[in-house]
Structure 1
Amino acid sequence: MRTTPHRREWRGNPLRRRSDRVETWVGLVLVAGAAVGAPAVGWGVGDAVHTSLLHTAQQERAERHRVAAVLLEDAPGVSSPADPETADSGVNAPPVLVRWTGRDGVERTARVQVGAGLVAGDTTAVWVDRGGRVALPPLSRAQAEAYGIVAGIGGAGAAGGLLLALRWAVHLRFERQRLDAWEQEWRRVGPDWGKRPT
């Protein structure tokens, strides 16, 4: 059976130096590690972040609740009322003054961002903490999953990138050694190169 050039390269090509073989095997191990290890790292990181955020979301839900608040002024730039159910989130809108009654029966006011199209007298939902202060909405399960996925992808990418960078560093190290060896050999035989025996 005839051996293909590729198989000869692995079996013992006389032109392949020991450093070539070592570099090839180290490279294969690192590439295999990137292919198998990077997804495993990504899965672990993503799962850890997701679990941690689910715990955080559970704590936030226990510490915060929604109240119905009445707008005391129109949302900026609004000239006519709109359906609060279809209004924009108002994330970039300036905050407006709202009023609500806390669980303790105390009436409170604060400036919050509301959906576009709301006018004075409309009702909006506001998240507050146990002390009655305005708070951000608790983290949702969907957000925890999304952050976990992003963290997992980032972890896998970082692990894979690190192993591939290590593979490149190994290649450069072996290449430097080969060039040094070649230079030493050339210093030994170079002066006699091309001379005819007498």
Structure 2
Amino acid sequence: MASRGPRGHRVWLWRWRPNPLKRRADRIEAWVVLGMWTLAVLVGVPAGTAVNRSIEDALARERATWRPLVGRLAERAPGPPTEGGAASRADQVWARATWTAADGSARSGQLRVPAGSPAGTPVTVWTDPEGGQVTRPMTPSQARVRAGLLGGAAGLAAAVVPLAAGRALRTRLERHRIDRWDTEWSRFGPLWGRTTG
């Protein structure tokens, strides 16, 4: 950590430089600062990496096991039919669809489909290995982004613990240092008003 010197230039590693005015509390604080940042890195990086890897692996398993099936609308989708055939996300509505799972069992569920689609319209249904309805799995790039964001958040959350503990210890050291200054000031402060003669 840098501090400003007398002329405004930065003094790097000022906590570690020899100085006759440095007290024991200053040396302890220097070690606390070094320790809290070291622990923050040693805790935060592995935690973030582990969460990132775990999420990427889970999303890769979803991509490998979730499959699209062709289902059919069981009822006419509510609303007027969309013109031009291409419906935007705003023009889609929920409607019930049915499909046959890989084990041959009949399944049904709600899907978003273009408004006004007639009953019997083929629709794509994403299913898990048991035939239950799931959402479309993320692409590898989407999975990397999500895993990176969640891994970064987990790493930061884990790093906050040693940083907060170090900050609490530094606050306690500062309070102790101020109490010592008050004690010394009460001893030597009155002597400043006396003159020698």
Q: Provide the C-alpha distance between the structure 2 equivalents of 1:184 and 1:77, rounded to a whole number of angstroms.
A: 81
Q: Which residue is 2:110 aligned to?
A: 112
Q: How far is 1:143 from its partner? A: 4.2
Q: Which residue is 1:21 aligned to?
A: 27
Moved more, 44-53 or 121-130: 44-53
Residues 95 and 111, structure 1, Cα contact 8 Å, conserved in 2: no
Q: Which residue is 1:161 aligned to?
A: 160
Pick aligned residue for 2:36 from 30, 36, 54: 30
Q: Which residue is 1:41 aligned to?
A: 44
Residues 73 and 97, structure 1, Cα contact 8 Å, conserved in 2: yes
Q: Which residue is 1:174 aligned to?
A: 173
**Superposed CA RMSD:** 3.7
Within 5 A, what are the aligned runs for 1:92-171? 95-105=94-104, 107-108=106-107, 110-117=108-115, 119-120=117-118, 121-138=120-137, 140-171=139-170
Q: Provide the C-alpha distance between the structure 2 equivalents of 1:11 and 1:97, rounded to a whole number of angstroms.
A: 73
- 1:27 is paired with a residue of what secondary structure? helix
Q: Provide the C-alpha distance between the structure 1 equivalents of 2:157 and 2:196, rounded to a whole number of angstroms.
A: 59
Q: 1:133 to 1:14 in 2, by over 3 A?
A: closer
Q: Deviations over 1:61-117 (max 9, x none)?
A: 56543211122333333333553xx43457x96531223344455554x23122334
- 1:115 is paired with a residue of what secondary structure? strand
Unpaired runs of 5+ residues, structure 2, are none
Residues 71 and 99, structure 1, Cα contact 8 Å, conserved in 2: yes
State the TM-score, normalizing by the size of structure 1. Answer: 0.67
Q: How far is 1:19 from its partner? A: 1.4
Taking only the aligned residue pairs, the percentage that are identical comes to 32
Q: Provide the C-alpha distance between the structure 2 equivalents of 1:105 and 1:11, rounded to a whole number of angstroms.
A: 76
Residues 128 and 134, structure 1, Cα contact 8 Å, conserved in 2: yes
Q: How far is 1:48 from its partner? A: 2.6
Q: Provide the C-alpha distance between the structure 2 equivalents of 1:127 and 1:11, rounded to a whole number of angstroms.
A: 64
Q: 1:142 to 1:76 in 2, by over 3 A?
A: farther
- 2:72 is paired with a residue of what secondary structure? strand
Unpaired runs of 5+ residues, structure 1, are none
Residues 93 and 113, structure 1, Cα contact 8 Å, conserved in 2: no
Q: How far is 1:139 from its partner? A: 5.2
Q: 1:24 to 1:70 in 2, by over 3 A?
A: same
- 1:148 is paired with a residue of what secondary structure? helix
Aligned AA (2:182): E
Residues matched between the structures, number = 186
Residues 93 and 113, structure 2, Cα contact 8 Å, conserved in 1: no
Q: Which residue is 1:77 aligned to?
A: 79
Q: Provide the C-alpha distance between the structure 2 equivalents of 1:132 and 1:54, rounded to a whole number of angstroms.
A: 23
- 2:70 is paired with a residue of what secondary structure? strand
Q: Provide the C-alpha distance between the structure 1 equivalents of 2:84 and 2:111, rounded to a whole number of angstroms.
A: 16
Q: Provide the C-alpha distance between the structure 2 equivalents of 1:190 and 1:63, rounded to a whole number of angstroms.
A: 78
State the TM-score, normalizing by the size of structure 2. Answer: 0.67
Structure with the larger RCO, 1 or 2 (CA within 8 Å, 6+ apart): 1
Could you say which structure has the higher strand fraction?
Answer: 2
